[in-house]
Chains A and B, each alone.
Chain A
Amino acid sequence: MADEKDFSITISRRTFLKVTGTVGLVSSFYVIFGTEESLAKKGPPQPVPEPPKLIWSEEVPTICCYCSCGCGALCGVEDGEVVAVVGDPDHPINGGTLCSKGASLLNLRRTYDAYRNLVLNPERLTQVLYRAPGGTDWQTLDWNTALNMIAARVKATRDAYFEETADVGGSPVTVNRTKAIAHWGSAAIDNEENYLMHKLMRSLGVINFDHHARL
Chain B
Amino acid sequence: MTNHWIDYKNSDVIMCIGLNTAENHPISMKWINRAREDNGCTFIVVDPRFTRTAALADIYAPVRPGTDIAFIGGIIKYVLDNNLYNEAYVANYTNASYLVDPGYDFDPDTGFFSSWDGAKYTKSSWVYQKDGSGNVIKDPTLTDPNCVFQLLKDHYARYTPAMVSTVTGCPQDTFLEVAQTFASTGTVGKAGGISYAMGITQHTYGSQNCRILCVLQLLLGNMGIPGGGVNAQRGEANVQGSTDMGMLFHLLPGYVGMPQQGSHATLQDYVDKEVTPLAPSYWMNKDKFLISMLKAWFGDYATADNEFCYQYIPKLDGTNRSHMAIIEKMHAGEVKGAFAWGQNFAVGGPKAGREREALDKLDWLVAIDIFETETAAFWKRPGVNPSSINTEVFLLPAANSYEKEGTIANSGRWIQWRYQAVEPPGQAKSDLWIADELFKRIRGLYASEGGAFPDPILEMNWDYGTGEPDIAQVAAEINGYDIASGSLFTSFGSLKNDGTTACGCWIYCGYYESWGNPACKRRDFTTDPGGTGLFPSWAFAWPLNRRIIYNRCSCDPAGNPWNPDLWIVRWNGSSWETRDVPDFGAGTTAPSVTAQAPFIMLGPERQGRLFAAGMAEGPFPEHYEPKESPVSNALNNLQNNPCLVVWGSDFAAVGDPNYPYICSTYRVSEHWQSGIMTRNCPWLNELMPNMFVEISTTLASAKCISNGDMVEVSTVRGAITAIACVTNRLQPLNGVEVIGMPWHWGYAGMSQGPSANMLTAHVGDANTSIPEYKAFLANIRKVG
Contacts and interface: CB of A to CB of B under 8 A. Distances in A.
Interface of A: 1-2, 4, 6-7, 10-11, 60-72, 75, 77, 80-82, 85, 90-95, 97-105, 107-109, 111-112, 120-121, 123-136, 138, 141-143, 146-155, 157-162, 164, 166, 168, 173-215
A181 B340 CA distance: 11
A147 to B, nearest CB: 5
Contact of A123 (B339, B445, B749): B749
B114 interface: no
A92 B397 contact: no
Given A66-B672, A93-B5, A130-B393, 16 more contacts: A6-B517, A7-B523, A63-B237, A70-B416, A91-B525, A124-B426, A126-B397, A133-B391, A151-B442, A152-B445, A155-B442, A168-B261, A175-B314, A181-B337, A181-B338, A208-B249
B381 interface: no
Interface stretch (B76-84, B147-155, B429-437, B607-615): B429-437
B478 A70 contact: no
Contacts of A142: 427
B93 interface: no
Kindly list the 10 A-B residue pairs having the minimum CB-CB distance in the complex, ordered from nearest: A126-B426, A70-B410, A190-B406, A186-B342, A177-B314, A187-B239, A99-B26, A185-B247, A125-B397, A107-B681
Contacts of A95: 30
B602 interface: no
Contacts of B474: 192, 195-196
A16 B471 CA distance: 33
B315 A177 contact: yes
Nearest to B362: A182
Contacts of A75: 402, 421-422
A107 B682 CA distance: 7
Contacts of B669: 99-101
Nearest to B310: A174
A211 B248 contact: yes
A176 B258 CA distance: 13
B387 A134 contact: yes
A213 B406 contact: no
B435 A193 contact: yes
B736 interface: no
A124 B426 CA distance: 9
B236 interface: yes
Contacts of A176: 311-315, 453, 456
Select the residue from A178, A185, A192 with max chain B CB neighbours within 10 A: A192
Select the residue from B315, B349, B412, B451 with max chain A CB neighbours within 10 A: B315
A205 B418 CA distance: 31
A214 B322 contact: yes
B253 interface: yes
A123 B675 CA distance: 13
B353 to A, nearest CB: 16
Contacts of B423: 80
Contacts of A6: 516-517, 521
Select the residue from A67, A97, A123, A203 with max chain B CB neighbours within 10 A: A67
A15 B70 CA distance: 52
Contacts of A155: 442, 445-446, 449, 451
A97 B393 contact: no
A198 B253 contact: yes
B339 A184 contact: yes
Contact of B680 (A4, A123, A141, A197): A123
B439 to A, nearest CB: 5
B420 A60 contact: yes
Contacts of A215: 323, 345, 348-350, 770-771
Contacts of A131: 379, 392-393, 395
A213 B241 CA distance: 10
Contact of B261 (A125, A146, A175, A206): A175
Nearest to B313: A202
22 contacts: A61-B418, A62-B419, A68-B235, A82-B421, A100-B670, A111-B681, A127-B397, A138-B395, A142-B427, A174-B265, A188-B238, A189-B406, A190-B407, A191-B508, A197-B341, A199-B462, A202-B314, A203-B297, A203-B456, A209-B247, A214-B248, A214-B770
Contacts of B438: 147, 150-151, 154, 200
B247 A213 contact: yes
B243 interface: yes
A71 to B, nearest CB: 5
A123 B253 CA distance: 34
A137 B152 CA distance: 61
B20 to A, nearest CB: 11
